[in-house]
Amino acid sequence: MGYLRALEKKMVLWYTSLLLGVLLAAVQVHVHGQTPTTEGFISIDCGATVNSTDSITGIPYTTDDQFIDTGVNYNVSLNYLSSSLPKQYSTVRSFPDGGRNCYSLKPANQDQDTNYLLRASFMYGNYDGKNSVQKNSPLQFDLHIGIDLWDTVDISDPSTPFTYEAITSIRADEWLSVCVIRTNPSSIPFISLLEMRPLKDTIETYASGNYYLVCLMRRNLGASGEKIIRYPDDPYDRIWDPMNITLDVLTPDKAVEHNQTRDGYGVPSAVLQTASVSAGVNDIIRFYWDSPDSEIDHHAILHFSELELLSEKDVREFDVYIGDYLYANFTPTYLKQQFSSRTIYGVSHRNFSLNATARATRPPLLNAFEIYHLKRKSYERTNAADVEAMFKIKEAYKLKKNWVSDPCRPTEYAWDGLHCSANSGNGDRVIAINLSSSGLVGEVSIFFSKLQEIQFLDLSYNNLSGKIPDSLATMTFLQVLNLTGNCITEVPKGLVEKSKEGSLILRFDNNTDTCNGSNPTPSGNDTTATKKKITTPIIIVLSVVPAILLVAGVILTVWRIRIKRQAVNCELVQLPSESWQLNVDHGGGQQPYTSLQSDIDYKGSQLPFETRQFMYTELENITKKFSRTLGKGGFGTVFHGIMEDGIEVAVKMCSLSSEQAPNLFLAEVENLSRVRHKNLVSLIGYCMDRSQMAIIYEYMPLGSLDDHLRGKAGTGRFLSWAERLQIVIDAAQGLDYLYNGCPMPIIHRDVKTSNILLGQNLQAKISDFGLSKAFHSDLQTHVSMTALAFSPGYVDPMCLETWKFNEKTDVYSFGVVLLEIITGEPPIRRDRDVQIIERVQLSFEAGDINAIVDPRLQGTYNTESVWKVLELAIRCTARAIDHRPKMAEVVKQLRESLKLEISERSKSMTLENKACHS
């Protein structure tokens, strides 16, 4: 019996031990081998019409129609598909239209700032049947994360998938856009796959809010064959490419511990199960890579785990060099995950190395490594609250607009119907929205009131109904709210009061056209009483309208006779048919505004119907009482303004200091309203309000060429040679149009760098050509110079002698402009009373180009291109008029010079491995 009891005890202990062992094993599996999940993954099969699942990873992929509104779906040619290629590569979405097309991604249930891995894949596969990709003719376009350049996609093989990875942080509740940008007319962008993976809190934050990382390479050392490790082995679905190098390979008998809660980079155990070691203890493991751009910083991460159970006598110890930084006496721990990381700044030759220390008996070891480009995010972006509000508005009305990525940046891709004001401190702000006739249905969205600095909101001629949200009355900066032609039934009392006070222009007429005859009423009013009030005025109006029309006809006839008596030598300037009904209060009630003046000879001129007339009080509102000065124009001071629809304008107030001023003013309005060209500043409107005269024309936000050459533009950089060439090409095209494109050719007479204005992307436009006189097609007809305001250094000396002016005198001035972009110097330097042409001539004859070219260019230009422009400038400034070229030839020669410069830049660029996996 004692024996049996002892045996029973042993069996109980044995079973207990076994049970505990099983439980411990289960716990260990749970801790070290947690089942991965695709929760939070966004996996898009671009161009597909049905959802699918990847046969290798088991990751589900969805179609892309919920993420993008543009593009065309295509199937890849069957000749390029194989059993080894995931079926997600069988379709693409192509973007033949538009410069920028974007996918809008919104992470689900995101309540904090999070790092995300982005991966975009491209396989051409002759989807368009055009064989557009050849080895000697790659297909190229840009890939952006929002407004920031991610990489340049370079497709050189039609049958190979090209993959690009990046890591970026996204703020809570933020939208993220991935965009393809068409940079070459012959290269149509497309995309095969787009993937987004949350890295969560277990990944160390090495992509902060100000930076993002572009993957250059991610390698698994010691791996056998061509096996790629990704999900589910890597729960974050990073792609680890095998790298077999001429080093010894280590593999452990046991699995490397994977403690996901402690490991800063979450490297999967499958990657750490192999390592490469050098053949000898004193042999160095070294990796290096070159970058064509020494300004790009790189971030390197090295992963270690000791795979050998070393004896007490053996030591594996080595120094880790990442660039010039040293981690000394590093010893990897047996079957534990460790890493070293460092950013390498500002050199073209990058490397890391592992060197055994003096006490080491075992050679250095490396399991895996990652290399990233470290890129700074652009500071110029739209305020986050405005971005969120705009996406909510788009979502609320299900707008099928190309409203993608940042609403305001880059400015050339700003959302249609939006106008923004630059604000570097807290992001650009949306100040105007025009959604007129956009098919909006439902109530006025409360998210409009989230745009705290909006000034102008046009929602006219839609199908909006119900009550206007009370929150719109709390918008501090709102100046115009246009709800004409909707179904609005109630207007908040706060908006009505603002309208009565004059701080808000509120329009909601014609709502009865689509709303069963119910006009909007101020909230809080008795509806029945309101209807009675509406009915009575209608009866009165119908009864008195004929009498009013009769009286108005008599008054109009008497008024016309009176005007003709006052203006014997004056003919009426035709007012624009599209001018708004304007009234001005002079203290005795509002009176209709008229622009007729009896003391100015208008010579019977008529302005185009589309030219808008402004009143002086409007200009005060537009310019905020003329608070911001842009500079001095041909006739007076130029002010910055913002119109009611948010469009920025330049308002030129014209001085009346001379008797010629009124005629010169009208000449400028006539000339500006008659010509339309992409390289000429466009007229928006004019003002002739008694003694006040002004011209309103488009605002050129980047100032003048003179500002940039003199370092006054505030950009912190100087124009490159290619940028300077493109600017003068634009300017020359504008001048050529004045001579050869207008029905009656126009001479500018004041060509200079301060009259070459720059818009976004440095597009140049000629301004102040209103001083010129229209003359007949005979270009030898001369014009008196008595009214010309001379610009020292630009005036043709022959013109000063003869007092005659024609196209060739403009060419002379333009030649001086060309000398300015070459030298960077003004026409006349204060320290030397010598004109630029005389200074350059000596060095030109000596053949010394270095003594001529702007030293700020630092030799970054094609010498042949500069010589070609210099020779052209010398010809333009020739004393003999017949030796000067026509402007059409100037345009041609400048274009050829730009081609030389572009060719030089292309030759000097070296390609860098851009893909993490291909």
Residue 840 lies in a domain: yes
What's the pLDDT tens digit per position in 579-605?
222 222 333 333 332 222 222 232 333
Q: Which of 30-39, 93-102, 710-719, 896-905 has the lowest mean pLDDT?
A: 30-39
- Give the model's pLDDT for residue 359: 94
What's the pLDDT tens digit per position in 645-680?
888 999 988 765 555 556 666 666 766 676 778 899
Angle at 223 between CA 221 and CA 224, to 5 degrees: 145
Which pLDDT band, with edges at 50, 70 and 90, does 842 fall under? confident
- CATH (domain of 284): 2.60.120
Residue 659 lies in a domain: yes
Q: How far apart are CA 737 and CA 807, in angstroms?
A: 12
- Give the model's pLDDT for residue 801: 65
- Give the model's pLDDT for residue 318: 95
DSSP 50: S
Q: At what angle do helices 836-846 and 807-823 cross, to 10 degrees?
A: 70
Residues 725 and 776 in one domain: yes
- Give the model's pLDDT for residue 793: 85
Encoded tokens for 137: 């003719």
Which pLDDT band, with edges at 50, 70 and 90, does 907 fall under? low
Instruction: Please report, as a single letter, which amino acid is at residue 119.
Output: R
Angle at 342 between CA 340 and CA 348, to 5 degrees: 135
Residues 914 and 778 in one domain: yes
Q: How far apart are CA 100 and CA 690, in angstroms?
A: 47
State yes or no: pLDDT of 634 exceeds 90.
no
Residue 27 lies in a domain: no
> Which one has a higher pLDDT value, 909 or 845?
845
Residue 540 lies in a domain: no
| The pTM of the whole model exceeds 0.85 | no
Residues 742 and 833 in one domain: yes
Q: Domain range holding 53?
A: 42-201
Residues 723 and 737 in one domain: yes
Residue 532 lies in a domain: no
- CATH (domain of 481): 3.80.10.10
Positive or negative CA dihedral for 476, 479, 484, 489?
A: positive
> Which one has a higher pLDDT value, 68 or 673?
68
Residue 861 lies in a domain: yes
Which pLDDT band, with edges at 50, 70 and 90, does 750 fall under? confident
- CATH (domain of 79): 2.60.120.430
Positive or negative CA dihedral for 775, 781, 787, 792?
A: positive
Q: Which of 370-374, 677-681, 744-748 has the lowest mean pLDDT?
A: 744-748
What's the pLDDT tens digit per position in 186-227?
899 999 999 999 986 545 555 566 788 999 999 999 887 778
Q: Which of 220-234, 614-628, 674-688 has the lowest mean pLDDT?
A: 674-688
- Give the model's pLDDT for residue 767: 87
Which pLDDT band, with edges at 50, 70 and 90, does 128 fall under? very high
Encoded tokens for 795: 């005036």
Residues 793 and 871 in one domain: yes
> Which one has a higher pLDDT value, 499 or 905?
499
- Residues of the chain above pLDDT 70, percent: 74
Residue 10 lies in a domain: no
Encoded tokens for 329: 């006496």
Which pLDDT band, with edges at 50, 70 and 90, does 330 fall under? very high
Q: How far apart are CA 782 and CA 774, in angstroms?
A: 11
What's the pLDDT tens digit per position in 706-742?
999 988 866 666 899 999 999 999 999 999 988 887 7
**C-alpha distances in Å from residue 524, one per residue of 17, 55, 121:** 80, 64, 58
DSSP 227: P
Q: How far apart are CA 36 and CA 817, in angstroms?
A: 65
- Give the model's pLDDT for residue 2: 44
Residues 841 and 899 in one domain: yes
Give the end of a domain, one of 678, 699, 720.
699
Q: Which of 8-17, 192-201, 694-703, 708-717 has the lowest mean pLDDT?
A: 8-17
- Give the model's pLDDT for residue 796: 86
**Residue with tokens 């590093």, as numbered in its chain:** 330
State yes or no: pLDDT of 375 exceeds 90.
no
- Residues of the chain above pLDDT 90, percent: 38
Residues 304 and 335 in one domain: yes
Q: Which of 14-23, 252-261, 828-837 has the lowest mean pLDDT?
A: 14-23
Identify the three-state secondary structure at position 190: strand
> Which one has a higher pLDDT value, 681 or 905?
681
Which residues are designated catalytic?
750
- Mean pLDDT, rounded, for 795-810: 78
State yes or no: pLDDT of 397 exceeds 60.
yes
- Give the model's pLDDT for residue 586: 30
The rounded mean pLDDT for the chain is 78
Q: Which of 37-41, 331-335, 746-750, 885-889 has the lowest mean pLDDT?
A: 746-750
Identify the three-state secondary structure at position 848: coil
Q: Which of 17-26, 211-220, 637-646 has the lowest mean pLDDT?
A: 17-26
Q: How many domains is the chain partitioned into structurally?
A: 5
Give the end of a domain, one of 318, 341, 376.
376
Q: Which of 446-460, 561-575, 740-754 has the highest average model confidence (pLDDT)?
A: 446-460
- Give the model's pLDDT for residue 12: 39
Residues 771 and 906 in one domain: yes
Residue 225 lies in a domain: no
> Which one has a higher pLDDT value, 724 or 251?
724
Residues 351 and 288 in one domain: yes
Q: Which of 162-176, 358-372, 396-410 has the highest average model confidence (pLDDT)?
A: 358-372
Q: How far apart are CA 113 and CA 168, in angstroms?
A: 10
Give the end of a domain, one of 699, 734, 763.
699
- CATH (domain of 666): 3.30.200.20
Residues 295 and 337 in one domain: yes
Residues 689 and 734 in one domain: no
Residues 766 and 868 in one domain: yes
